[in-house]
Amino acid sequence: MTYVLFLLGLVGLFLGGEVLIRGAVGVARRFHVPPLIIGLTIVGFGTSTPELLVGLQAALAGAPALAIGNVIGSNIANILLILGSSALIAAVPLPLPTMRRDFAVMIGATLVLWLMLAGGTVTRTEGLFLVAALGAYLWLCLRNAAGSEPPATEEPPRPVWQSVAMALGGLVILMIGARLLVDSSTEIARAFGVSEAVIGLTIVAIGTSLPELATAIIAALRGHSEIAVGNILGSNVFNIFGILGVTATVTPIPVEPRFVGLDMALALAAALAMLGFAALPGRVGRAGGVALLAAYAGYIGLMSAG
């Protein structure tokens, strides 16, 4: 039964990703919003729902520090694992002129997070600041999208309500698929004697990023790489401003010293590497994808060994 649930989880992830992308492109076309903006907002924020749920559940359960590890780990996985996997399927363009603001916000948010963690506690005041920053960023995204040309697509136009329903339905399917896959993978790993620490560092951490992974792969396969890029940037911004902001607003978050070291250093290095790809070749090709995946494998190996 566990293996059946594992397969159902995989099917749910990619079916949900397919439906979400179709719905998101439909919304973008109807409202003349560029696919990149849809990826930054609807798709990027929506696929971060598992991280938000984990953060809130951890806060309410009296273990809010779990939210920090989830946010940092997901942001690392979004770039090294998800961007790397997408680049193996097809080269991912990163046009810096149209994404300069979003890169600045993502890197700035990462630096702000590092400073907050260095203080030893993420306070309620800091949490409110992060939530306000998220609101300002969302407003900028939508304001700059006004008057844009609709995205090109060969699909016939569909009613707005249908596109919105598809996007929401795909998101729900993604959430269900991710849950099934994480739970079944954990059971399979335990059956093979894998330690709880390794399960937490790999399956559970990657599990909350599975919606982003599935969405990015489907977007790459369907030729909507701008949605995949927007998904990564938007998710990383939402993870810091939204998830950590909401969690810290609920309860102050004590910071374990280990987060201020290697983990945050790699999160910033990954963000700068993505910026480097955008500034120099303007894309991530297969070689770049392999390098990103190798870096992620090395990080997971180091965490498991520790």
pLDDT by residue, tens only, the chain of 306 residues: 777 887 787 677 667 766 776 777 677 667 777 766 776 676 766 667 666 766 676 667 666 666 787 788 889 988 999 899 888 888 888 988 888 999 999 999 999 999 999 998 999 999 999 999 999 988 888 776 655 554 455 556 677 778 878 878 877 887 787 667 667 766 776 777 765 445 544 565 666 677 777 777 777 777 777 777 888 888 899 889 988 998 899 888 888 787 888 889 999 999 999 999 999 888 999 999 999 999 999 988 887 665
Residue written as tokens 């390098």?
291
Q: Which residues of 148-181 are buried (b: 16+ CB within 10 A; e: fewer)?
A: eeebebeeeebeeeebbebbeebbebbbebbbbb
Alpha-carbon distance of 258 to 120, in angstroms, equals: 11
Mind listing the domains of the chain with CATH numbers? 2-148+156-305 (1.20.1420.30)
Alpha-carbon distance of 184 to 180, in angstroms, equals: 6
**Taking CA 56 as the corner, what is the angle to CA 59 and CA 229, rounded to the nearest 5 degrees?**
130
Express each pLDDT in 146-191 by its tens digit.
555 544 555 566 777 788 788 788 778 877 876 676 677 667 767 7
Q: What is the pLDDT of residue 47?
A: 66
Residue 160 neighbours by CB under 8 Å, 6+ apart = 26, 27, 30, 31
